[in-house]
Structure 1
Amino acid sequence: MMMRCDSKRNKFCKRMSTTAKEAPSWSFSSLPDDIILNVLARVPRRYHPILSCVSKKLQSLVRSSELQITRSLRGKEDRFYVGFRETLPSYNYETLDEWSYHWFTFTESHRRLASIPFPFPPIKPYSTTPIMVGTDIYIVGGSRNMWILDTRSGKLRHGPKSPVFRDKAAVGLVNDKIYIFGGTCPKCCYRDIQAQAFDLNTQTWQLAPNPSVPVYSTNDSVVTPALGRKIYVMDGMDVIVYDTRDGTCDEIVRAEGFNSQNICVVDNVLYMHYNGVGLMWYESKAKEWRLVHGLKFKGYFSDIKMAEYNGKLAFLWHSVNNGEVWCSVIALYGRSNVAIRGLGILSDVPFSYNLKDFMVCTDYY
């Protein structure tokens, strides 16, 4: 019976192969743009990096504003989430009742910050890192506990505990795994375990390759699907590039004399905002930082956050002078030139609010 089935399958494959050879050449990219956009609007975001590699036309359409308009017409508009940490006058690092965390949201069509009554786990917000996966926000750090916030229902639930608690660790998303590595381990018996990963499909933790160099204190970490398996991490004065396949790490030295706490990666190019200088990008071949031309942000900003958004750079900043929160979506051309498709001012927030987190919610799955 098995041999008969195999024989039928082989005959079918041969017939299909012959038909394919006789059929005229055709490709998906040859369809009209409006048809392609309607198809792409139904494809989950996790496949966009793969589609971008098929052809330059698909890459352009995946990142186009036309696709975002098509998606919004289907009720699938991307949503930005912003988190502020409010430090109360009697704040004490040893207590948990001297601060509050505030969630806000906005979309490109609704360009105003709107407060949302989402809960925050009972842990210190300065030690946590939220990772956006689809419509869920995974909050890790500060303890072995993982918390998962469902943005559709606004409910917060417990996730599986991580094997080892590492303080001030780096966090990054690669494919379907959340990686936690580096930092410090309070218990001596677990100091040899420097990296762990949470599998989003099986909802289980597993050990990950240890970094080849010490990763001590991190300020920010970022990863985009286009990066493959690498995570970029702020470590002291420099940037560490952690390869999740084997733990090997490369080091990128920051521009001398400049201070920055903000990094982002778009199309495998590392961008960093330097206070008093502006946005710069890293030329990997020459191993030097270069200025991005065309950006002019007025005033001094106490808080700045960046995020990769559909092949563009979403730039959010909080003005210390008047409490205004601004956002711009920056299209990067030739790495050193930009075109700003700005959202403009979003809202005013109290002076006691400090910008903590900035995320983009997409239909990842």
Structure 2
Amino acid sequence: MSNTAEEAPSWSFWSLPNDIILDVLARVPRRYQPILSCVSKKLQSLVRSSELQVTRSLRGKEDRFYVCLGNYESCHWFTFTESHHRLASISIPYPRERYSTTTIMVGTDIYFVGGWRNLWILDTRSGELRQGPKSPVLRDRAAVGLVNDKIYIFGGFCRKKYYEDIQAQAFDLNTQTWQFAPNPSVRVDSLCKPVVTPALGRKIYVGGHDVIVYDTRDGTCDKIIRADVQNFSTQNICVVDNVLYAHVHNVGLMWYESKAKEWSVVHGLKFKGFFSSIKIAEYNGKLAYLWHNLKNREIWCSVIALYGSRNVAIRGRIEWSDRLLSDVPSNYVIKHFMVCTDDYK
């Protein structure tokens, strides 16, 4: 055994031809790519490369974006991919609930949560909408976040007085059951609208006039200071490579340096001005930027690569930007914007 092991030729993953390496990586579901990116800088570069996107597309595994546009009376669903920069209308059943509902995507399923006690789950592959188990507490306009295999709902306004002291609950995706989660150490007030919050490790960021960091292990909360800019609001926040980003009206894209505890502008971008609605999302180590140009009645999207160091400065480079839809009603807003992070075929 010892002699055989010594005589065996040395082998390395990188000794394979580049097209084979890409083919192997294309078979890995999206949810594992952040882990692969931590192995080495070379692997991280390949995971985020356009060559891998092309390989995935050829294998029928191109990433898909889901967008919901509408007003208080109606909503319309669309989808698009990086290779087809146009919003295509799709027929998706939408649960009609009395109270506001937000959505969060897990794999290829869309969960409608955060409104009434009902939980609805949409399988985007089959188009089937099924009802999940009712949540124990009705919380309206609550924040919703995903950590590991649990969807957390917390904050907002409780519709039943005897449940007011219960600030958080969680839905276990494996057991498909609800459970009470650790109460936040500070009260998370009712938000002006439901929010899907980004997660980092076991902590969830709740955007609003301030950013509250909720630790799902024990409920401990920290508050991130507001940037010293006029009308600072962080309704649109996103975590990319362990860095918190926020779109700030009339300023643009900003990032938070946790050690210095200060906000800075991402250099190299010109996303300034006020739009009727903006959504941002993490996308394969990059940032997907969707906005409604109210003046021209158009929906645009950009994918931004982020560079630099948290110790110095962070710059953004637009990899592509395109108009996805024209003649959008002026009273429409972007209700939901999600990226399918796993194979949908």
Tell me if both proteins adopt one fold, taking TM over 0.5 as the criterion.
yes
Partner of 1:95: none
- The match for 2:169 among 183, 196, 209 is 196
Partner SS for 1:26:
coil
* Residue pairs, 1:202-351, within 5 angstroms: 202-218=175-191, 219=193, 220-223=195-198, 227-235=200-208, 237-256=209-228, 257-260=230-233, 261-297=235-271, 300-334=274-308, 336-348=314-326, 349-351=328-330
Letter in 1 for 2:135: S
Q: Residue 26 of structure 2: which of 21, 41, 54 is its match?
A: 41
Give 1:213 deviation, angstroms.
Answer: 1.3
**CA, structure 1 residues 30+191, in 2 after alignment: closer, same or farther (shift >3 Å)?**
farther
Sort the Cα spacing of 1:33 and 1:124 in 2 relative to 1 into closer, same or farther, 3 A. Answer: farther
Residue 290 (structure 1) shift: 0.6
Shift of 1:22: 5.7
Residue 159 of structure 1 aligns with which residue? 132
Q: Which residue of 1 aligns with 2:93?
A: 119
2:149 aligns with: 176
Evaluate the alpha carbon distance shift between residue 53 and residue 20 of structure 1 in structure 2; reply closer, same or farther with a 3 A threshold.
farther
Instruction: List gaps (5 residues or longer) in structure 2.
Output: none
Q: Please, which of 324, 337, 343 is the counterpart of residue 358 of structure 1?
A: 337
The structure number with the bigger radius of gyration is 1
Aligned residues: 335
Provide the secondary structure at the position in 2 that maps to 1:209: coil
Give 1 or 2: higher helix fraction: 1
Aligned CA-pair RMSD: 2.0
Structure 2 partner of 1:32: 17
In 1, Cα distance between equivalents of 2:108 and 2:188: 30
- Three-state SS of the structure 2 residue aligned to 1:71 is helix
Contact 2:103–2:196 (CA under 8 A) maintained in structure 1: no
Answer with 101-110 or 295-304: which moved more.
295-304
Deviates more, 1:166-175 or 1:254-263: 254-263
Cα offset, 1:20, TM superposition? 5.0
Mapped pair 1:69 → 2:47: no
Native 8 Å contact 2:290 2:300 kept in 1: yes
Give the CA deviation at 1:328. 0.2
Q: In structure 1, what residue type is equivalent to 2:62?
A: E
CA shift for structure 1 position 19:
5.4
Would the aligned equivalents of 1:29 and 1:58 in 2 still touch at CA under 8 Å?
Answer: no
SS of structure 2 residue aligned to 1:70: helix
Deviations 1:233-271 (A, max 9, x none): 114x21011111221111112212333321111111111
Letter in structure 2 aligned against 1:329:
V
Residues 223 and 298 (structure 1 numbering): CA distance in 2 closer, same or farther, change over 3 Å?
A: closer
- Give the whole-Å Cα distance in 2 for the aligned partners of 1:162 and 1:286: 40
Secondary structure (helix, strand or coil) at the match of 2:74 reads: strand
Identity in percent = 74
Q: Give 5+ residue unaligned stretches, structure 1.
A: 1-14, 88-98
- 1:96 aligns with none
Residues 127-138 of structure 1 mapped to structure 2, 5 A cutoff: 127-138=100-111
1:340 maps to amino acid: I
Letter in 2 for 1:358: F
Report Cα offsets for 1:257-296 as digits up to 9, x if no partner. 3333211111111111111111111111111111111112
Q: TM-score, length-normalised on structure 2? A: 0.91
